[in-house]
Chains A and B, each alone.
Chain A
Amino acid sequence: MSALHDLSLRDAAMRVRRREVSAVELTRAILERIAATEPQVGAYLTVCGDEALAAAAAIDRRLAAGEDVGRLAGVPVALKDIICTAGVRTTAGSRILERFVPPYDATVTARLREAGAVIVGKLNCDEFAMGSSTENSGLGTTRNPWDGTRVPGGSSGGSAAAVAARSCFGALGTDTGGSIRLPAAYCSVVGLKPTYGRVSRYGVMAYASSLDQVGPLARDVADTAVLFDAIAGHDPRDSTSSPRPSRALAGSLEGGVRGLRLGMPREYFVEGMQPDVERAVREAVRVLEGAGASVESVSLPHSEYAIATYYLVATAEASSNLARYDGVRYGLRVANPGSSVGEMYAETRAAGFGAEVKRRIMLGTYALSAGYYDAYYLKALQVRTLIAQDFTKALAGCDALVAPIAPTTAFRLGEKTADPLTMYLSDIFTISVNLAGLPGMSIPCGFDGDGLPVGLQLIGKPFDEATLLRVAAAYEGSTDWHQRGPRL
């Protein structure tokens, strides 16, 4: 028998439910795995071993008493550290919240707990989810489990790295412009960014409210579906969460792709793409064709404006969302707060926020300023509508789109930190999906010549995660990329 930490999330849950293994044993196994892999990976900002063991023991007691403890009974999972956990510090990867302990659970946290999951820790990320490499974290460095000199992608880099390292059975991340899909691709795990409104944002620290969405990262498609089912659905505490009921998808991944029509956006196969990446993606498309899907070329003509649009909308919202971190009520307050409230704000925010966060706050403040609002923010909203219409048109004739996740595989730590604009281009294929509010997914589809993972992106119609998961499952059934793990 392989090590407990190598089980799939579904297998692990089944064994706990059948009482072949106890939740405590499973949790201990993961805590040991964390101890073994963290020196190389650095995915976790906080490991809450005591809380996790206590929760696991409670699950075991309830199982012994014959209670129904949920689909995720006793399975250790971990959360991007931007998702609030009552009693466990939640930092958003920022020094300004380094010691912040929320008194409440995010809705997704609560739903995982209700489903019986055991939360073992909090995962590193770019500060307030702003970044594509997790290098913007103010609190630690996460390395790509496939190559310790490479970034894990971002901003949910810790989530992807931990799943790849088998130091949790699944994780939650957030995706504002590709922050689940990019690290999933860089680390060779499955990542799903649900339709905007499908998963509650309550208790998830906001970066850009109209773009943020929580989603699962897991080792394979079926595990991803199980996690998605646990967190999806209307939440009365989030006014933007959709009232339409979410149907359970974990059991309906069969069906294949025969007869499905897939679109390939022309604009996503650009010059300058790493040849290995393009080759892997095109090969993946052939595999899907081989399985019975028809593939045609589609156009998303406004794609070239996506990055500019994103950086206006996201930074404008961020400048407002991050105003609450002011040293007045919680979080960091500098030792010498000056003599006025204004100085206290300035000193606290200067010391607490990293460079990328400051850059985006300033961009957003500028974009919303009197006299610039119409030229920048309002214009961006208009272009956003055009981008969304592109997708509506493209998806009118297809069931889903297939595309690359990023132009390259994981880059080296430090390689792009000095040039934010180059870094922003990592998200060029993922950002539009957020602007349009659509579901998007990344699944492993190969490796480049350096042995670094490549991801395939699937983009779906609003609230049609079912089709994405079905296509992904079909692809996964024809390949074995997802079964490969990094040597750790």
Chain B
Amino acid sequence: MESVIGLEVHAELLTRSKIFCGCSAGFGAPPNTNVCPVCLGMPGVLPVLNRRVVEFAIRAGLATGCAVAPSSIFARKNYFYPDIPKGYQISQYELPICAGGHIDVVTEAGTKRVGLTRIHMEEDTGKNVHDAHVADSLVDFNRSGVPLLEIVSEPDLRTPGEAGAYLRTLRSILQYLEVCDGNMEEGSFRCDANVSVRPRGQKELGTKVEIKNMNSFRAVERALVYEIARQEQAIADGERIVQETRLWDADREETRSMRSKESAHDYRYFPDPDLLPLAVEPAWIAEIRRTMPELPAERRARLEREHGLSAYDADVLTQRKDVADYFEAGVRAGAPAKDMANWTMTEILRMVRDEKLDEALVIRTWPIGPTQLAKLIRLVTTGVVNRNTAKGLLPKLRGTELDPQELVRREGLAQVSDRAALEAAVRDVIARCPDQVAQIRAGKEKVMGFLVGQVMKATGGKANAQMVQDLLRAALAQSS
């Protein structure tokens, strides 16, 4: 059997204001504070399209090879729900702004081209709040009218792994375009999946099932794995797959059917008479094309070329724009590229991950600035501190604007490179550890590390590690 997967992504746009009114589209304000009569759908009010949203949609379209429609229309999607204030959601249905593009996804099996059916603009809904302490349900309309792009792929994906890679690539592109922060947990990058299975070689698609409610990349992949297995099992058992919408339950690690009543919608789409057809002039597209930022694939190639990075390093560093920006800022501040790459990938990304900061788009909010890190690296490469000491300094630099050199001076952490002092320490350790010395002489090279550690300990961790190594070897060679 083979599975066929298509993804629908809703990306919340990083515009300052909402799609049809001037309210702030910012996240995290107290309930119902970013609202006005328009986004509350009060009687008589009318939508006015935010030009910036169109620009973002065009940017996304150009970055993915879509054709931008010279004329597109907005439609009303009619349904009742407490969080949609007008009783309809303004979206694009027929004639979306972008169609027919693709995304190249790097998978284990090589690069795969995934088709995009369409990219269209729509408004977000509010949010129902069910508070256990209050008898009634409440609604927060801050998100109502926040602009979204819906990006619909062709059913070109075949495995959960491909789906995950597609999502990461798409998110990366949107982040590079600075149109979406890509935060799945906060819901600014949401995904629904359509999945069906069929015998390998069969042309026709199987009956598709839609899966909703997945709020991490992991959840998408887990949900697909589960759902594909479920469908294959059902077919093996001679059952028929029902076309339906299923929800991913992350706690129980399974998909389950939504009541059919909820999924059987007739949205009664029709062109919104309050909004004129949207005409996009070729000159505007040309202007946006001129100001398009470098995209992840281009940047990856450039980092390899300009900084001599390995393909792997370049890939890790360019998956997120802010990481790549960070790396390049450090190089500009004087850090050797390879060292900056290593420190960024190991120490900084670990810190970011451990502190769950990985969704911050803006480089300023990073725990340690790229210039600080570059200076720290310079202290290592010029022998002022050793690598371990430098690592130990990271937490002290975190969230400060301290100059690493200043910190080293203040804490007395400068590396001991005094030959006489180190020789004394080496002699002392050799004298104290006859067993280990004997083992080394018997060919157990690994024990060398123990002796180095002893010297470091004796010097409070500040010894120049390379010198300690050299001195130890010299001393052992002499006394043998």
Query: Taking beta carbons and an 8 Å cutoff, which residues of A are in contact with B?
Result: 82-84, 90, 92, 97, 100, 102-104, 106, 201-206, 208-210, 236-240, 316-317, 319-320, 322-326, 328-330, 341-342, 345, 365, 368-370, 373, 377
Contact = CB atoms under 8 A, between A and B. Distances in A.
Given A209-B273, A369-B266, A373-B270, A236 B44 contact: no
18 contacts: A82-B44, A100-B43, A102-B37, A104-B42, A202-B45, A202-B46, A205-B43, A205-B44, A237-B48, A239-B275, A324-B43, A326-B80, A326-B82, A341-B81, A341-B137, A342-B80, A368-B270, A373-B270
B268 A90 contact: no
Given A317-B273, A323-B86, A102 B44 contact: yes
A240 B270 CA distance: 17
Interface string B263-279: 00010111001111000
Interface string B384-415: 00000000000000000000000000000000
B352 interface: no
A240 B74 CA distance: 13
Contacts of A106: 44
Given A238-B48, A324-B86, 11 more contacts: A102-B43, A209-B273, A237-B48, A239-B48, A239-B275, A240-B273, A316-B270, A323-B88, A324-B87, A341-B81, A365-B268
Nearest to A236: B48
A373 B270 CA distance: 9
A209 B85 contact: no
B85 A329 contact: yes
A339 to B, nearest CB: 12
A365 B87 CA distance: 13
Interface in B85-132: 85-88
A323 B44 CA distance: 13
Contacts of B266: 369-370
Q: Which of B85, B275, B276 has the most CB of A within 10 A?
A: B85
B458 interface: no
A102 B42 contact: yes
A202 B44 contact: yes
Interface string B20-61: 000000000000000001001111111111000000000000
A323 B80 CA distance: 8
* Interface pairs A-B: 10 shortest CB-CB: A323-B87, A210-B273, A209-B273, A368-B268, A203-B44, A205-B43, A205-B44, A324-B87, A370-B266, A324-B86
Contact of B43 (A92, A238, A328, A369): A92
A324 B266 CA distance: 17
Nearest to A210: B273
A369 B268 contact: yes
A269 B80 CA distance: 45
B76 interface: yes
B78 interface: yes
Contact of A320 (B43, B44, B45, B268): B268
B88 A320 contact: yes
A341 to B, nearest CB: 6
B48 to A, nearest CB: 5
B46 A237 contact: yes
A326 B87 contact: yes
A328 B82 contact: yes
Interface residues of B, number: 30
Q: Which of B76, B80, B137 has the most CB of A within 10 A?
A: B80
B43 A341 contact: no
Contacts of A90: 43
A345 B273 contact: no
Contact of B78 (A97, A236, A320, A345): A320
A84 B268 contact: no
Contact of B82 (A236, A341, A377): A341
A104 B21 CA distance: 15
Q: Which of B47, B139, B270, B275 has the most CB of A within 10 A?
A: B270
Given A323-B86, A341-B82, A84 B40 contact: no
Nearest to B76: A320
Contacts of A316: 270
A104 B40 CA distance: 13
Nearest to B74: A239
A450 B137 CA distance: 59
A325 B88 CA distance: 12
Contacts of B273: 208-210, 240, 317
A167 to B, nearest CB: 25
A209 to B, nearest CB: 4
A148 to B, nearest CB: 32
Nearest to B128: A341
B37 A103 contact: yes
Given A324-B41, A368-B270, A377-B270, A238 B88 contact: no
A257 B275 CA distance: 38
Contact of A239 (B81, B88, B276): B276
A329 B88 contact: no
B54 to A, nearest CB: 13
A82 B44 CA distance: 8
A316 B137 CA distance: 31
Contact of B274 (A92, A203, A239, A322): A239
Nearest to B81: A341
Contacts of B82: 326, 328, 341
Interface in B254-301: 266, 268-270, 273-276
B76 to A, nearest CB: 5
A201 B276 CA distance: 14
A35 to B, nearest CB: 29
Q: Which of A82, A202, A239, A368 has the most CB of B within 10 A?
A: A239
B43 A239 contact: no
A380 to B, nearest CB: 11
A166 to B, nearest CB: 29
A83 B45 CA distance: 11
A363 to B, nearest CB: 13
A203 B37 CA distance: 10
A208 B45 CA distance: 13
Interface in B307-340: none
Nearest to B88: A320
Contacts of A210: 273
Nearest to B78: A320
B44 A84 contact: yes
Contacts of A323: 78, 80, 86-88
A365 B266 CA distance: 10
A82 B266 CA distance: 30
Contacts of A345: 80
Interface string B439-466: 0000000000000000000000000000
Nearest to B139: A328
B472 to A, nearest CB: 76
A90 B45 CA distance: 13
A84 B43 contact: yes
A276 to B, nearest CB: 38
A449 to B, nearest CB: 42
